[in-house]
Amino acid sequence: MESVDLEVLRSCVRWQEHGHRCLLVTVVRTWGSSPRPAGAMLAVRDDGLVVGSVSGGCIEDDIIDRTRREGIRNRTPEAIKYGISAEEAHRFGLPCGGTIELVAEPVSSASGLRELLSAVEAGRLVTRTLDMATGTATLGPATATDGLVFDGKALLTIHGPRYRMLVIGAGQLSKYLCEIAVGLGFDVTVCDPREEYTETWTVPGVTMVRTMPDDTVVEMKLDERCAVIALTHDPKLDDLALMEALRTPAFYIGALGSRRNNQARRERLEEFDLTSQQLARLHGPAGIYIGSRTPPEIAISILAEVVAARNHVSLPDDLKVERAKSALATPGDLRQPGDLVCG
């Protein structure tokens, strides 16, 4: 669950506590191209204040205008469609042929948003089933592969962390990377047995463990919705994590380092009886080439590659760090561009 959607829930609960009425608007279906996916949420207060997004902005403007003019009069949820005609698609900023269906739910005590927020903040993955006829919502357990379901009578949405990320190392780069990863909806765990790093860790919303990396990988039981990123530069830590992670179905496994260090790492990992197919899954040097040199830039580079993998986007080879830096290398220059800067 993205942090922006979590903020939508928090806003609804806070506004309700302060005596405001509000609408919780959820994208339930899209046809053609659409700016936001099914499950995206928007909260609109009775005075037009808004948090979240369901489109590029034009649909939000229409909902805000209607709320300010008419107030929140309905007592039960209703389904609304935008972009049925070409004229509407143009008016609301939808791509040609795009259509979006929303459920606008007037928030009440029957909505159970406080309970939902508590469950999500506790790291639980839950389903929320909204009865369209009554506006009553109930919570239940969910799995990471569950998806939104809407049949006109009930709306079932999934809330909580769908993807997990294991970061090896609690250094400065890890702090930037973890802060952004939390915003991208990852349930992030940082593993570092070194006290000199973990004692100064200050990133909220991230689980810190001090066990050895290989034990952590095994204990987490990584699946297809997991990413592993090794950032310590210490083979005693990074290699331990990678040799176990490459045997799992994790969708992304990457390691920081120069091209020279990456080649040495692959040679070491071969000694752990990893197959060529398993080693080929390693993203190293991790990230896409954006000329990054600072920790925040390197974090963005790595997470861009992670998000592409999560979204099943195949990146051109020219964007990969190793390929890009090789293309920039000057013949006869013994120092490879970027080798003095990790990333």
pLDDT tens-digit series, residues 108-126: 999 999 999 999 888 788 9
Shared domain for 120 and 225, answered yes or no, is: no
Shared domain for 175 and 307, answered yes or no, is: yes
Among residues 101, 125, 149, which one ends one of the domains? Answer: 125
> What local confidence, expressed as pLDDT, does residue 331 receive?
53
pLDDT tens figures, 32-46: 666 678 899 999 999
Contact of 36 with 4, CB cutoff 8 Å: no
Output phi, psi for 102, to 5 deg.
-120, 155
Is 311 inside a domain boundary? yes
Q: Tell me which residue range forms the domain holding 294.
A: 163-328
Decide which of 273 and 21 is more confident.
Answer: 21
Model pTM score: 0.71
Look up residue 15 and give its two tokens.
């506004």
Contact of 191 with 211, CB cutoff 8 Å: yes
Shared domain for 192 and 85, answered yes or no, is: no
Q: Where are the beta strands (DSSP E) in 162-242?
A: 163-168, 186-191, 207-209, 226-230
> What local confidence, expressed as pLDDT, does residue 338 receive?
44
Look up residue 268 and give its two tokens.
């070491």
Shared domain for 50 and 197, answered yes or no, is: no
Q: What distances in angstroms separate CA 33 from CA 38, 91, 94, 243, one per listed residue?
A: 12, 15, 8, 41
Is 51 inside a domain boundary? yes
> What local confidence, expressed as pLDDT, does residue 93 receive?
59
Shared domain for 98 and 170, answered yes or no, is: no
pLDDT tens figures, 51-79: 998 886 778 888 999 999 999 988 999 99
d(CA 174, CA 166): 11
HEC secondary structure over 142-155: CCCCCCCEECCCEE
Is 12 inside a domain boundary? yes
Query: What percentage of the chain's residues is helix, strand, coil (to nearest 5)?
Result: 35, 25, 40
Shared domain for 115 and 188, answered yes or no, is: no
Shared domain for 176 and 322, answered yes or no, is: yes
Shared domain for 53 and 177, answered yes or no, is: no
Is 207 inside a domain boundary? yes
Query: For 4-8, 252-256, 266-270, which range has the lowest pLDDT when averaged over its residues?
Result: 4-8
Mean pLDDT of the chain: 88
Q: Is the pLDDT of residue 99 over 50?
A: yes
Q: How many domains does the chain have?
A: 2
Is 113 inside a domain boundary? yes
Is 239 inside a domain boundary? yes
Shared domain for 92 and 184, answered yes or no, is: no
The CA R_g of the chain, rounded to the nearest whole Å, is 23
**C-alpha 57: how far from its chain's center?**
21
Please identify which residue in the block is written with the tokens 């004229």: 87
Please give the average per-residue pLDDT across 330-343, as a whole number.
45
Q: Tell me whether residue 7 is exposed, middle or buried, using C-beta atoms within 10 angstroms of its C-beta: 0 to 12, 13 to 18, 19 or more.
A: middle
